[in-house]
């Protein structure tokens, strides 16, 4: 056999197989199409009349499903409002913490809790700015925190100043000059002044 004869034999075999496969696929597609048209006709034809008792039972099912959907909607709405409240509370808490951190107050978590106890319901937000509304008297959040530090409850959180107070005495140390021995009186004075510190 020559290569042309082999080639011709292969093409003939392949075309025969191809035609057989296509005819089988066409037959199966025709059967599928026929069964689908039957199903579509069944679905599109009007349903046979049912007994009135069964028709009545479908109405409550529809009402029940409507009630169930309404219940789901109300549940979702309550969940949404709860999440909104939680998000607002988190933003409010973060804003108060930020304002407290600007004051360098002592025991910031405790100060935060105390401030929130008294001002939680008074805190409002408008366009990203937080303020305290005390009966029409509106104060910015930073100013409200600073003002609260001046109250009797807030003064415990005020950081100490760098001054020791009115009873403190300034001690002057005399620099030792190299080559001289300190006097006994100077050493005694330094020892006594260090005892008070």
* Cα distances (Å, whole numbers) of residue 187 to 6, 15, 182, 196: 122, 120, 7, 15
Res 173: pLDDT = 57
Res 171: pLDDT = 56
Res 77: pLDDT = 92
DSSP state of 29: H
Res 129: pLDDT = 85
Token pair belonging to 193: 């002044």
Question: What ranges do the domains of the chain cover?
Answer: 78-157
Burial (CB < 10 A; 0-12, 13-18, 19+), residue 111, is: buried
With CA atoms as reference, report the closest residue to 130 among 91, 185, 79, 75.
Answer: 91
Average pLDDT, 10 consecutive residues per value, the chain (197 residues): 86 87 81 78 63 53 76 91 89 87 83 84 85 84 86 78 59 60 78 73
Task: Compute how many other C-beta atoms are within 10 angstroms of the C-beta atom of residue 86.
Answer: 10
Res 79: pLDDT = 92
d(CA 114, CA 108): 10
Nearest-10 crossing angle of helices 141-149, 52-103: 60
Whole-number CA gyration radius for the chain: 45
């Amino acid at each position: 056999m020559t290569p042309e004869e082999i080639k011709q034999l292969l093409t003939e075999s392949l075309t025969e197989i191809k035609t057989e496969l296509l005819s089988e696929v066409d037959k199966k597609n025709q059967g599928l199409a026929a069964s689908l048209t039957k199903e579509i006709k069944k679905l599109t034809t009007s349903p046979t009349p049912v007994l009135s008792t069964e028709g009545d039972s479908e109405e409550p099912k529809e009402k029940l499903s409507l009630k169930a959907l309404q219940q789901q909607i109300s549940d979702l709405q309550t969940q949404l409002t709860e999440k909104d409240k939680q998000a607002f509370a988190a933003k409010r808490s973060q804003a108060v913490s930020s304002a407290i951190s600007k004051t360098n107050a002592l025991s910031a978590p405790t100060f935060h809790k105390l401030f929130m106890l008294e001002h939680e319901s008074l805190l409002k937000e408008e366009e990203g700015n937080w303020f305290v509304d005390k009966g029409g008297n509106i104060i910015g959040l930073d100013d409200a925190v600073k003002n609260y530090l001046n109250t009797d409850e807030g003064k415990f959180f005020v950081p100490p100043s760098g001054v020791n107070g009115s009873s403190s005495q300034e001690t002057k140390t005399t620099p030792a000059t190299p080559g001289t021995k300190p006097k006994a009186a100077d050493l005694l004075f330094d020892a006594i002044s260090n005892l008070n510190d």
